[in-house]
Amino acid sequence: MDYNVIRCARAILRVTDLEASQKFYVDALGFIETESNDEYIYLRGLEEHNHHSLVLKKADSPAVEALGYKVSSEQDLDALSRMFEREGYATKWMEKGSQHALGRSLRVNDLSGLPLEFFAEMETVERLLQRYDLYKGSRMQRIDHFNCAVPDVEAAYAFYKEKLGFACSEYTDTPEGNTWAAWLHRKQNVHDVAFMNGKGPRVHHIGFWLPDQLALIHTCDVLASMGYGEAIERGPGRHGLSNAFFLYLRDPDGHRIELYSGDYLTSDPDFEPIRWDINDPMRQTFWGHAAPDKWFNEASNVLDVFTQKEVDLQAAKLEQHKPTFVI
């Protein structure tokens, strides 16, 4: 490939109340607030050296504006643009200076309708990994992954593998042999993005890495003490898939955040994807307890990169762009 997607790198969430969001993400969860104004809050984890990994943008209604991936160079952006255009996708350039702290970026709705963003340059800031005096809340470290509900997991998997160079770490099959969900990565852990079959395109959650399992438990204590007990949707627990510890939260606008720690290395070229049966109760929670129904049914709507309106669910051009699916 003529381009190198490095990792998931930032997300832009539209929120209706910046003050409420700031209290939740900064005061309770312990994100570092790099900058803020009346329209935006730029957040990062303690170990991140880029300006931000999460943007909260004031809006009339909640939605996901973009899921951002970092690439190696400016030349990668041009090559990605050519690839998408060859495949029949309309692309949008965001010039340097049009977004705070970010260089030139490329935006496109993928075959499922998800709003993707690719960039090579972002301002750097002080890394606070060893500023233990600033550790509070969940002791947030870094962004880890996106999880998305899409109408056709196999089509999404094939496109990300064949056109973007992602690899599969784990996947879930139905008894009929259909792939219900897949975990794909560029960096060397379990995933940068996961796809699950469902009403979509929607963003199910954004995952952030915590330093250890006790940080998840401490987060629950902090949230309860601050009156956010109802924000705890699921967990703490351990996934069968990924082996990681998890805690799912809902922010004041209903966006779902996963706090995540303890998965494994996937860098070896002979690593074989791990298969799970959809009826295996240890798949979603290694200890066996089931997720609540709303965890499967509720997710955040996404925006069209051109119109900035919500993408119609199930409206993706799957047949036109559907490559051959191979695990």
Q: Would the pLDDT of 316 be above 70?
A: no
Say if residues 15 and 54 touch (Cβ distance below 8 Å): no
User: Which tokens belong to 137?
Assistant: 């809340």
d(CA 161, CA 128): 34
pLDDT digits (tens, 9 = 90+) for 43-98: 999 999 999 999 999 999 999 999 999 999 999 999 999 999 999 999 999 999 99
- Map tokens 């089509």 to a residue: 155
Same domain membership, residue 152 and residue 113: no
Is residue 133 domain-resident?
Answer: no
**Which CATH number characterizes residue 156's domain?**
3.10.180.10
Task: Give kind and range of the element (H or E) at residue 208.
Answer: strand 202-209
Domain limits for position 54: 5-119
- Quote the pTM value: 0.95
Exposed, middle or buried, 133 (CB in 10 Å: 0-12/13-18/19+)?
exposed
Same domain membership, residue 213 and residue 143: yes
Which runs of E-coded beta strand occur in 159-201? Answer: 167-173, 179-185, 193-197
Distance of CA 273 to CAs 148, 166, 191, 194, 229, Å?
19, 12, 12, 13, 37
Determine the pLDDT at residue 326: 62
pLDDT digits (tens, 9 = 90+) for 120-170: 999 999 999 999 999 999 999 999 999 999 999 999 999 999 999 999 999
Q: How many domains does the chain have?
A: 2
Of 87, 119, 151, which marks where a domain is finished? 119
Q: Would the pLDDT of 217 be above 70?
A: yes
Same domain membership, residue 180 and residue 101: no
Is residue 60 domain-resident?
Answer: yes
The three-class DSSP label of residue 91 is coil
DSSP state of 97: T
Question: Which ranges in 124-207 belong to alpha helices (H)?
Answer: 153-164
Is residue 227 domain-resident?
Answer: yes
